[in-house]
């Protein structure tokens, strides 16, 4: 039974390349590169410095932007979540900016920021920033009042209450925001690289389209997917490590 | 003030309060209105109550009559709309480690281990020696569970850990809001014993909110019954049963008498509360 | 001492009447515009190269009055209609496929085993990364853009639906069975309504991603639409038009989020105490 | 070649480390590729200067904007984006040389799917035409419309999208620039050239732009770059094989056959009425048609016709003084002539 | 089978069961092991119990002894590992509208109004006339709340609505797992009255799980006390108090006697359970 299930699941994954092969063999989708062409293009890219530089650039951009987004959004979210006056003074302005898709900022950032690297990072940062911010706010607001009361009655001051109660209690929500934020960081990074050009996997993929190296487009997509999956897994791992106390609950 | 306190203690057939005892609570003309601008809810209306130092008082009353509101005012979580709460001569203006609180739903910090929970209070008030936490854990039968997270404990153990956390701070006053209502019968009995043990030894003032009439009589020196909302003091019953009281005390005639008295007051008030509710529907 | 305490507590609780709530919120918005104007005026960073709030808003007003946005002569309404049409078509397709698929995968282990692993292979790929291949493979340029936007919306809806089904409490299913419901009725009366809040969450995440994707696709591939206006104006350095495009896309995004929120609330009104 | 993972950022803050915006997908600006892969910048720049990074752009406008925000120091762009950059009021940008020039054989190309019935400009009337607005193709199609009195339905798309759409038959006509058009025509045999700017006496060009601050504060470095530019032109004009070797080193172009790339530089078009494919001129003031293109036709188009630039570019943004000095110095140093015949 | 049932009914000082009465439950050698492959948990071990048609049986036992497991087997939610449950001669093989269930945490469908909840059963079994739902709502004092969602009701009302939903299906058997444990004292008392009223009128079999010894004695014909895990029947107490029983019955000597008996059994088992738990720690 267990092994049967595992087989079915493996077959499900295997069906993807098989279907792909069939589709290209039968010529159902004109212009779709074959799995073999993509594989050989993968090998080719593997030996190109440019490819690895793109991988490195995109990865560094995502990681740096994500860390900065978390470092800004979490404290800000906790403050907005806990202090009504602060929230009233800051949040409406942020709410005006939030519905603008980060990628729409690209012309602005290219004009205003001093280096194109920073432009793309800013777009990526914005992608991660709002989900983390909103979830943190929600987490901070959701802290049950009895927890802070308990801490106060045990002698905690407001900073201590923040550190020992509000923050840990909001952590699950913060992590949920980080997971969404990591996904959106990649979305916006790729868009930014495609639009603003230069380097990175988004650019590699788009310039493969421009230059007509169609199998390379799919190499780009796969590489982006793998890196995206790895970074999400890292965020999850970090989250689980940070809130060991919650695992016990479900166990 | 201290005069009245002494009177009470005598009535409870307990020893005199320790000289220089602390933890006397004076509730004076307490009124609490929720949402005074919008839909006003008068939760407590002009209530007066004195609780002597080291006294054990149980607070009974129909659901929604304002028991938790009173407790929150004493704890310093809520600002009275009118009137005030005075503890040992000082007006309550906020939470204080001298007034420890146990909540109805267990409020151990789930992200801290049992030991971290218990050490939290002493840490926040670095005057108290931290070694104390350890002893208290042992005393509460929690040795071996120091590094467990609250979610890994049974309900009874959680409640013991919460009591331990409170005691680690050595408060003068223990405010307990239906602390045992979620426990099963046996665990509840064990916890009641534990509580009385702690109270008798350390001479703290206890305000104990419960819905359970028998529990109130079994534990308290005095049982205060509140009216339906807006809450006021309806009746004060002196429990003149000898201590220590074993579980069999519930079969005595005096117990039954006290129980009947409390029950009839409560039933009357509960009926009134119900009528109010249905009138609103 | 105690008054100080009290003020401090009320301040912490945010109830100190430093201006009313509305006034503070309005102040926040005003401060934003002032900050924008000051940054542009003082040319902090490269703000000197960007448009200030006043010319941006005046261009916005003339755009609203029907001034053509770019060389092609289309008004902002036409561009907005194109972007919105793409989002709407893609959302309809995404909800129509992802919700049933998610319900089936969530409710049946067999379907989950058969379909979910294959879908998971595609999920980590950001929708925008599909732009080149979609433009290459879809029969028309327009369908390529819609396909990518569809992908953007599809996965959040799917994943939330699956998760929603997974968290339906067993006891609801048991209650329904004990009341005589067969499996189809359990699906219709219990699993689906119990999953609705999750589905609504998925749809609102999905619509957000749909906007991101549509703007990116229009910027990258060109044609018509708000994303296109922004990029075209950028190519020509018309920063006031860039700002107008951003404002327009913000309004559209906000409006669609509100619509989804309203519909979602209507569908799950049982969650909120009357 | 590329410098480090964050090379571009570091270089952006270093005055002596230049960020060069270039376009591998624009044949008319390929002198940049020759400079890059032959190491000519390293050869001619004064010692303390270097190339911080080569930044690829798929469109001249991106480079122009990056120069305006001083993210790029040196840029290779088509004639239209060059003018947009010169006209901007934020950052002084100079047109210091011409990167490439032709009589409508590079950026004024109209192409159609293979076997299309469209062959004459008149056939465009009422049809959907893919064009990248703001580029040299845009001016071309508007001139054609004007002269022929036709009304096609212009659809603004990126160059890559246009060539895909023409090849797949999604749009009946596209206007574009090399080498993308040649790829569809020669390499994929999916499209054909319909007509070019030559029929309308139209020219196209690529500009070499520098930040004015670079020219003013580091004239020796600017002059060094211009020498590299001149040597690149010399190689391109005299040694096609070496040129092709250098061009094909550009990784971005790996989807292109060598033959396709060669054709865009050296093979004249059937439909171009014998116009030469690319003229390797550098001094635009020496060529009347080029001078008029940069100073009159293109600016007027953008300012009067399109209303997309706030003013005509000021006269002082056109400066070939350093180029002239570079030519003089090279005449003394090198054993080849830095100028083509018409420039002398 | 029906013989045994009759005996019981006589002992409870109630009338004879209705002729042709349905709802007899036979638990035969019931064993339930959770996760038989992995960490085996034997929840119920070879348990036998007969519940007569129309009988009201209360099931008591320490926390975790397997009460809910037994109920889930009767309801048909769980497949016994060994043994079987037979209802009116038929082996239970799945849930059935003849066996209605009330859960501890309220399980009204939150997305349906009170009326939709109550009509749900009849709708699913179109044999039952829908007008019935309306009457039952009135009878349960829920008129005026038909269109409210469960989240808008007080705890007591929710419980009444859940009972109404059950009754609308006219089940032979009512399986109730700590249905009133979350209610306050007064609401609980009202609900108990309501339940007995319904039971006496409609002649259904009731299996009522509770932790509250007094509640068990107050309501049931027989009180079954289970051992600590793995659960088995430890003791069966016939409650020979006259019906109707008013609240004052708790003060009678016979009540006290029955209570003491049940309590002592439970205490003993709970102690054992506690020792088991601590042994594991
Ligand atoms: N924050 C609040 N805002 C408005 N009304 C409130 C608030 N808190 C409590 N109330 C109302 O005030 C009244 C008293 O509440 P309180 O919690 O003090 O009652 P209680 O006696 O503790 O009830 P219970 O026995 O159910 O715990 C109730 O009617 C309650 O609905
Ligand atoms: N799904 C399950 N998997 C494994 N063990 C289980 C499962 N359900 C219950 N158990 C275990 O089986 C035992 C009996 O559980 P059950 O819920 O029947 O007890 P109970 O008497 O109803 O307890 P309570 O009074 O707390 O409701 C418990 O020890 C419990 O931990
Ligand atoms: O460089 C151009 O994009 O024309
Ligand atoms: Mg309360
Ligand atoms: Mg149970």
Per-residue pLDDT of D270-312, as tens digits, reads 887 789 999 999 999 999 999 999 999 999 988 887 777 889 9
Residue D64: CB within 6 Å of ligand 3?
no
Contact: A224, C129; criterion CB under 8 Å: yes
Per CB-CB distance under 8 Å, the chain D contacts of C222 are 132, 156-158, 161
Flag whether B17 is in a domain. Answer: no
Across the range C127-134, mean pLDDT stands at 92
Does residue E13 belong to any structural domain of this protein? no
- Shortest CA distance to D271 belongs to which of D103, D99, D124, D35? D103
Residue B21 confidence (pLDDT) above 60: yes
* Residue ID of nearest Cα to ligand 1 atom 31: B64
Provide CB contacts within 8 A for B148, sequence distance 6+: A248, B113, B114
Residue C233: what pLDDT? Answer: 86
Question: With an 8 Å Cβ cutoff, are B151 and A245 in contact?
Answer: yes
CA B230–ligand 5 middle distance (angstroms): 37
Per-residue confidence (pLDDT) for residue E106, from 0 to 100: 78
* CA distance to partner chain C, nearest, from residue B93 (Å): 7
Looking at the structure, do residues E272 and E147 belong to the same domain, yes or no?
no
For residues E199 and E259, membership in a common domain is answered with: yes
Report CB contact under 8 Å: C178, E97: yes
pLDDT tier for residue B128 given thresholds of 50, 70 and 90: low
Q: In this structure, are B226 and B184 located in the same domain?
A: yes
Determine the distance separating the centroid of ligand 2 and the alpha carbon of E66, expressed in angstroms: 6
Q: Find the mean pLDDT for residues D126-152.
A: 90
Q: In the prediction, which pLDDT does A124 show? A: 97
Note the pTM of the prediction, 2 decimals. Answer: 0.85
Distance E179 CA to ligand 3 centre (A): 76
Range of the domain at E148: 105-170
Both B192 and B266 in a single domain?
Answer: yes
With a 6 Å cutoff on the Cβ, whether E270 touches ligand 2 is no
Q: Do both C81 and C159 map to the same domain?
A: yes
The residues, any chain, with a CB within 8 Å of residue C164's CB and separated by 6 or more, are C102, C106, C194, C195, C196, C197, C198, C199, C202
Domain that holds residue A216: 34-250
| Residue nearest atom 4 in ligand 3 by C-alpha distance | D78
- Does C5 touch chain B if contact means CB atoms closer than 8 Å? yes
Q: Are residues B183 and B257 in the same domain?
A: yes
- Say yes or no: C7 contacts chain B, CB-CB below 8 A: no
C-alpha distances out from residue E178 to A32, E118, E182, Å: 62, 21, 8
Ligand nearest to the CA of D107: 3
D169 contacts chain A (CB < 8 A): no
Q: Considering only CA atoms, which residue is closest to atom 28 of ligand 1?
A: B64
Q: How far is residue D264's CA from residue D28's CA, in Å, rounded to a whole number?
A: 9
CATH code for position B57 = 3.40.50.300
pLDDT of E90 over the 50 cut = yes
> Is the pLDDT confidence value at C252 over 60?
yes
C90 and C203 in a single domain? The answer is yes
For residue C85, what are the contacts with CB-CB under 8 A and spacing of at least 6? none
Cα gap B78→B91, rounded to integer Å:
13
The phi, psi pair for E136, rounded to 5°, reads: -65, -40
Q: Cβ distance D101 to D87 under 8 Å?
A: no
pLDDT band at D97 (very low <50, low <70, confident <90, very high): very high
**Strand partners of residue B87:** B25, B90
Residue B208 bridge partners (DSSP): B58, B176
CB A124 within 8 A of CB A185: yes
The CATH number of whichever domain residue C243 belongs to comes to 1.10.3720.10
Residue A155, Cβ neighbours under 10 Å: how many? 23
Any atom of ligand 2 within 6 Å of the Cβ of E277:
no
Interval between CA D162 and ligand 3 midpoint (Å): 14
Give the residue carrying structure tokens 């140093």.
Answer: D333
* Cα E77 to middle of ligand 5, angstroms: 14
Ligand 3 site, residue D59, Cβ cutoff 6 A: yes
Residue E71: the pLDDT is 95
Residue C4 CB coordination number (10 Å) = 9
Interface test with B, best of A150, A157, A172 (most B CBs within 10 A): A150
Summarize the confidence of residues E74-98 as an average pLDDT.
94
Shared domain check, A21 and A42:
no
Measured in degrees and rounded to the nearest 5, phi and psi for residue D109 equal -110, 125
What does the DSSP 8-state code read for residue D273?
Answer: T
Does E contact C via 3+ CB–CB distances below 8 Å?
yes
**Ligand having the closest approach to the CA of D79:** 3
Q: Which helix (H) or strand (E) holds E135?
A: helix E131-139
List the structure tokens of E194: 């309501």
**Number of folded domains in chain A?**
2
Chain A residues near any Cβ of chain B (below 8 Å): 144, 146-147, 149-157, 160, 164-165, 168-169, 171, 243-246, 248-249, 251
The sheet with strand D17-22 has its strands ordered as D50-56, D17-22, D74-78, D204-211, D93-102
Does the C-beta of B52 come closer than 6 Å to ligand 1? Answer: no
Question: Which residue of E155, E185, E223, E247 to mutate against B (max B Cβ within 10 Å)?
Answer: E185
Judge if B201 and B266 occupy the same domain. Answer: yes
Domain count, chain B: 2
Q: Tell me how far apart the alpha carbons of residues A219 and D254 are, in angstroms, rounded to a whole number.
A: 14
Is there a single domain that holds both residue A132 and residue A189? yes
Residue D307: burial class (beta carbons within 10 Å; 0-12, 13-18, 19+)? exposed
Is the predicted pLDDT of residue B166 greater than 70, yes or no?
yes
**B75 to chain A nearest CA, in Å?**
7
Q: Are residues E132 and E82 in the same domain?
A: no
- State residue D13's pLDDT score: 73
User: What's the pLDDT at B223?
Assistant: 96
* Contact present, C63 and C69 (Cβ < 8 Å): yes
Is E219 found in the same domain as E155?
no
Q: Whose CA is nearest to atom 6 of ligand 1?
A: B34
Q: Which helix (H) or strand (E) holds D122?
A: none
The verdict on E162 and E50 lying in the same domain is no
Cβ-Cβ contacts under 8 Å, A244 against chain B: 149
Question: Given this model, what pLDDT does residue E18 score?
Answer: 63
Range among A83-92, A102-111, D206-215, D251-260 with highest mean pLDDT value: D206-215
Rounded to an integer, what distance in angstroms lies between the CA atom of residue E281 and that of residue E265?
Answer: 25
Indicate the burial class of C22 (C-beta count within 10 angstroms; 0-12, 13-18, 19 or more): exposed
Strand partners of residue E231: E44
B229 with B112, same domain?
no
- Tokens at A74, concatenated: 């979490």
- Mean pLDDT across B166-183: 90
Q: How many CB pairs under 8 A join A and B?
A: 77
Domain extent for C151: 51-271
Q: Residue E11: inside a domain, yes or no?
A: no
Task: Count structural domains, chain C.
Answer: 2
Q: Which chain E residues are within 8 Å of B213, Cβ to Cβ? A: 185
Measure the CA–CA gap between B34 and B40, rounded to whole angstroms.
6
CA nearest neighbour of C170 among E30, E68, D114, A78: E68
Same domain, A26 and A150: no
Percentage of residues of chain C with pLDDT beyond 70: 91
Calculate mean pLDDT across residues C225-251.
Answer: 89
| CA dihedral sign, ordered B96, B102, B107, B112 | positive
pLDDT at residue E12, rounded to an integer: 40
Asked if C127 lies within 8 A of A85 by C-beta distance, the reply is no
pLDDT at E277 over 70: no
Whose CA is closest to D81, among D106, D100, D63?
D63
CA separation for the pair D220, D41 (Å, rounded): 13
Q: Is residue B6 part of a domain?
A: no
What percentage of chain E has pLDDT greater than the value 90? Answer: 47
User: Can you read off the two tokens belonging to residue C250?
Assistant: 């913000």
What are the chain C neighbours of E95 within 8 Å (beta carbons)? 174, 177-178
Assess whether pLDDT exceeds 60 at residue A112.
yes
Alpha-carbon gap: A76 to the closest alpha carbon of chain D (Å): 27
Half-sphere exposure of B29 (CA within 13 A, CB side): 3
Do strands B25-34 and B82-87 pair parallel, antiparallel, or not at all (unpaired)? antiparallel
Residue E125 · residue C180 · CB < 8 Å? yes
What are the residue ranges of helices labelled H in chain B?
2-11, 67-75, 114-124, 131-139, 155-168, 185-202, 213-219, 253-280
Give the residue from B99, B91, B69, B206 showing the smallest Cα distance to A150: B99
Section A135-146 average pLDDT: 92
Q: Assess whether C69 and C26 both reside in one domain.
A: no
Per DSSP, the residues of C67-136 read -B-STT--BHHHHHHHHHHHHHHHHHHHHHHHHHHHHHHHH-HHHHHHHHHHHHHHTTS-GGGGHHHHHH
CB A70 within 8 A of CB A127: no
Q: Does position C14 have pLDDT exceeding 60, yes or no?
A: no
C106 shares a domain with C41? no
Average pLDDT, stretch A105-118?
87
Any domain includes B120: yes
Measured in angstroms, the CA of C214 and the nearest CA of chain D are apart by 15
User: Could you tell me if E88 and E181 lie in one domain?
Assistant: yes
Cβ distance B211 to E256 less than 8 Å, yes or no, reads no
Residues A7 and A69 grouped into a single domain: no
Mean pLDDT computed over every residue of chain D: 90
CB-ligand 2 contact for E62 (6 Å cutoff): no
Does the structure show a pLDDT above 90 at A211?
no
Using pLDDT thresholds of 50, 70 and 90, give the confidence band for residue E3: very low
What counts of helices (H) and strands (E) characterise chain D?
15, 10
At what angle are helices E114-124 and E131-139 packed, to 10 degrees?
Answer: 140
Domain membership of residue B9 (yes or no) is: no
- Closest by CA to C146, choosing from C212, C80, C90, C226, is C90
Cβ–Cβ below 8 Å for C179 and E124: yes
Instruction: Locate the ligand 2 atom nearest the alpha carbon of residue E211 and give its number.
Output: 25
Q: Are residues A17 and A67 in the same domain?
A: no
Mutate to test the interface with C, among E95, E106, E161, E166 (most CBs of C within 10 A): E95
Claim to verify: residue E276 and residue E205 sit in the same structural domain = yes
Give the pLDDT of residue C5. Answer: 54
- In this structure, are C160 and C256 located in the same domain? yes
Q: Is E210 in the pocket of ligand 2 (CB under 6 A)?
A: no
Residue B207 resides in a domain = yes
At residue D329 the predicted structure's pLDDT band, cuts being 50, 70 and 90, is very high
């Amino acid at each position: 039974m267990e092994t049967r299930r595992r087989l079915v699941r493996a077959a499900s994954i295997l069906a993807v390349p098989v279907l792909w092969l069939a589709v290209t063999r039968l010529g159902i989708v004109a212009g779709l590169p074959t799995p073999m062409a993509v594989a050989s293009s993968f090998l080719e890219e593997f030996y190109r410095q440019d490819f690895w530089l793109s991988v490195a650039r995109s990865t560094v951009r995502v990681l740096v932007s994500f860390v900065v987004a978390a470092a800004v959004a979490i404290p800000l979210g906790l403050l907005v979540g806990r202090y009504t006056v602060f929230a009233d003074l800051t949040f409406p302005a942020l709410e005006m900016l939030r519905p603008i898709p980060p990628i729409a900022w690209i012309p602005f950032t290219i004009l205003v920021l001093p280096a194109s690297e920073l432009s793309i990072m800013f777009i990526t940062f914005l992608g991660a920033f709002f989900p983390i911010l909103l979830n943190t706010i929600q987490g901070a607001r959701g802290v049950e009042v009895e927890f802070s009361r308990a801490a106060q009655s045990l002698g905690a001051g407001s900073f201590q209450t923040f550190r020992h109660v509000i923050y840990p209690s909001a952590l699950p929500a913060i992590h949920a925001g980080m997971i969404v934020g990591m996904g959106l960081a990649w979305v916006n990074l790729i868009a930014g690289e495609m639009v603003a050009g230069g380097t990175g996997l988004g650019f590699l993929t788009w310039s493969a389209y421009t230059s007509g190296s169609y199998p390379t487009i799919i190499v780009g997509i796969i590489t982006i997917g793998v890196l995206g999956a790895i970074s999400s897994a890292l965020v999850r791992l970090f989250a689980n490590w940070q809130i060991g106390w919650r695992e016990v609950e479900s166990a | 003030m201290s005069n009245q306190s002494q009177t009470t203690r005598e009535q409870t057939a307990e020893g005199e309060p320790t000289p220089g005892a602390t933890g006397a609570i004076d509730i004076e003309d307490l009124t609490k209105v929720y949402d005074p601008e919008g839909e006003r809810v008068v939760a407590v209306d002009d209530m007066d109550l004195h609780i002597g130092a080291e006294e054990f008082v149980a607070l009974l009353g129909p659901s929604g009559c304002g028991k938790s509101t009173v407790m929150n005012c004493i704890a310093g979580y809520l600002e009275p709309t009118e009137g005030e709460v005075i503890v040992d001569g000082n007006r309550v203006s906020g939470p204080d480690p001298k007034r420890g609180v146990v909540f109805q739903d267990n409020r151990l910090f789930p992200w801290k281990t049992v030991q971290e929970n218990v050490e939290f209070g002493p840490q926040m008030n670095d005057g108290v020696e931290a070694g104390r936490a350890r002893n208290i854990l042992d005393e509460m039968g929690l040795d071996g569970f120091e590094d467990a997270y609250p979610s890994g404990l049974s309900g009874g153990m959680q409640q013991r850990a919460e009591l331990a956390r409170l005691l680690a701070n050595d408060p003068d006053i223990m405010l307990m809001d239906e602390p045992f209502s979620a426990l099963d019968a046996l665990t509840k009995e064990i916890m009641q014993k534990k509580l009385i043990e702690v109270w008798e030894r350390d001479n703290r003032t206890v305000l104990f909110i419960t819905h359970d009439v028998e529990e109130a009589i079994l534990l308290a020196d005095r049982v205060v019954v509140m009216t339906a909302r807006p809450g006021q003091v309806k009746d004060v019953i002196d429990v003149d049963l000898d201590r220590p009281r074993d579980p069999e005390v519930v079969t005595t005639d005096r117990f039954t008498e006290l129980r009947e008295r409390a029950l009839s007051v409560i039933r009357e008030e509960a009926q009134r509360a119900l009528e109010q509710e249905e009138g609103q529907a | 001492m105690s008054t100080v305490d009290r003020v401090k507590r009320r301040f912490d609780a945010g109830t100190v009447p430093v201006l009313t709530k509305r006034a503070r919120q309005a102040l926040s918005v005003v401060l934003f515009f002032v900050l924008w104007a000051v940054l542009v005026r003082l040319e902090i960073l490269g703000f000197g190269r960007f448009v200030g709030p006043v010319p941006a808003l005046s261009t916005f007003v003339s755009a609203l009055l029907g001034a053509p946005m770019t060389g092609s002569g289309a008004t902002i309404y036409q561009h907005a209609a194109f972007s919105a049409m793409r989002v709407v078509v893609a959302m309809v397709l995404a909800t129509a496929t992802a919700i049933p698929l998610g319900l089936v995968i969530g409710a049946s282990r067999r379907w989950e085993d058969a379909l979910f692993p294959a879908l998971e292979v595609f999920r980590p790929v950001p929708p925008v990364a599909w732009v080149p291949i979609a433009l290459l493979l879809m029969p028309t340029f327009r369908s390529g853009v819609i396909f990518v936007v569809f992908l953007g919306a599809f996965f959040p809806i799917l994943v939330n639906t699956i998760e929603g089904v997974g968290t339906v409490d067993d006891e609801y299913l048991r209650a329904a069975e004990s009341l005589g419901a067969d499996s189809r009725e359990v699906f219709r009366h219990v699993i689906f309504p119990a999953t609705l809040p999750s589905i609504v969450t998925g749809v609102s995440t999905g619509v957000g991603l749909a906007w991101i994707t549509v703007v990116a696709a229009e910027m990258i591939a060109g044609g018509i639409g708000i994303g296109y206006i922004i990029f075209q104006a950028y190519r020509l350095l018309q920063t006031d038009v860039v700002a107008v495009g951003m404002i327009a896309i913000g309004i559209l995004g906000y409006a669609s989020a509100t619509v989804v929120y309203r519909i979602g609330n209507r569908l799950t009104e049982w969650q909120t105490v009357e | 070649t590329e410098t480090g993972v964050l090379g571009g950022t570091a270089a952006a803050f270093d005055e002596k480390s230049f960020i060069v915006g270039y376009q591998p997908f624009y044949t008319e600006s390929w002198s940049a590729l020759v400079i890059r892969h032959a190491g000519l910048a390293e050869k001619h720049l004064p010692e303390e200067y270097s190339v911080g990074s080569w930044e690829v752009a798929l469109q001249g406008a991106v480079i122009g904007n990056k120069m305006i925000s001083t993210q790029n120091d040196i840029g290779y762009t088509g004639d239209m984006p060059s003018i947009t950059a010169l006209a901007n009021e934020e950052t002084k940008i100079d047109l210091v040389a011409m990167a490439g020039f032709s009589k409508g054989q590079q950026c004024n190309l109209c192409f159609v799917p293979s076997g299309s019935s469209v062959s004459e400009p008149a056939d465009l009337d009422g049809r959907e035409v893919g064009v990248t607005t703001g580029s040299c193709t845009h001016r071309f199609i508007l001139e054609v419309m004007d002269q022929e009195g036709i009304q096609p339905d212009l659809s603004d798309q990126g160059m890559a999208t246009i060539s895909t759409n023409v090849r797949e038959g999604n749009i009946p006509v596209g206007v574009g620039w090399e080498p993308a058009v040649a790829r569809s025509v020669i390499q994929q045999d999916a499209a054909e050239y319909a007509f070019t700017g030559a029929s309308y006496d139209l020219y196209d060009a690529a500009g070499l732009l520098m930040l004015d601050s670079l020219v003013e504060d580091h004239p020796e470095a600017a002059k060094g770059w211009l020498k590299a530019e001149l040597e690149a032109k010399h190689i391109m004009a005299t040694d096609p094989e070496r040129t092709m070797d250098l061009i094909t080193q550009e990784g971005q172009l790996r989807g292109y056959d060598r033959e396709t790339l060669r054709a865009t530089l050296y093979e004249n078009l059937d439909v171009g009425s014998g116009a030469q494919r690319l003229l390797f001129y550098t001094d635009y003031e020496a060529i009347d048609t080029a001078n008029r293109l940069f100073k009159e036709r293109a600016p007027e188009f953008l300012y009067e016709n399109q209303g997309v630039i706030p003013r005509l570019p000021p006269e002082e943004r056109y400066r070939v003084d350093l180029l002239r000095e570079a030519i003089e110095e090279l005449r003394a140093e090198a054993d080849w002539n830095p100028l083509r015949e018409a420039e002398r």
